[in-house]
Structure 1
Amino acid sequence: MEGDVPKSLFVLAPVGTRHQIKTAEADSSGEPSCMGLRDNGAKPATIVAAPCDTSAAGQLFTMKKTGRSDGDLPAYTIGAAGGRTLQDKGVGGLVAATGAGSPFVLVDNGPSTLPRLGD
């Protein structure tokens, strides 16, 4: 996703027909973090960094091409658990809520340098 480097660099890791969204850099434990949903009751879920867990529904996302950006790059809506979509609230951060999702540009920056588990 576009934004401030390195905070905006992510790796899409396929899990069946969905994806985990992992940080492009490992943390002090040597592992990447994954984007996940934190439920907030009646308010939209916020997006948090969490240890990666492929069995956590809140860490599995879908990518749906939804048009083109102002720079004529493909734009995607990111779907989350419970029929929610990711929505960019600017200064308020990223949330997952029902309704139209924000379009995101996913830029391919080449192969990841994350170590493979078991290496």
Structure 2
Amino acid sequence: MKKIFSQLIFVIFALLLFTVFPFSANADTGHVRDSQKPSTISDSITMTISKRSTYSKPKRYHTSAKSHIALYKAHIFSHATKVTFKLIGFSKADTTYKITKVINAQGLNWYYLKGHGWIIGGTHPSHGTAH
């Protein structure tokens, strides 16, 4: 029950995040024709990095049987002060991943699932355990 509640909170938080932040730093608030609108899979968000680190020992992260967490691809700018996250898909249910990196961008932690992509913060600390 506690896992379901924390996942529900995460989903609500993620939806609120996407309503507060534009999908791109160059987002146009003007009218866009339907043929010009990007698909959900190509939407992205650019954020300012405040801290980056790598875990010396990967940490485990396990998704529940009914859980599919959004996975993102990160593009870190050459000057390393900004990062763009682009939605690439969703994690598999009831699967264990290894978290190797963390980025804090604008007060929000993003965790890297080795070989799969980045997940938005708030999901790892309550579920992950040291490997």
TM-score higher than 0.5: no
Give the greater-gyration-radius structure (CA): 2
TM-score, structure 2 length as denominator? 0.28
TM-score, structure 1 length as denominator? 0.30
Give 1 or 2: higher helix fraction. Answer: 2
Structure showing greater relative contact order (alpha-carbon pairs closer than 8 Å, 6 or more residues apart) = 2
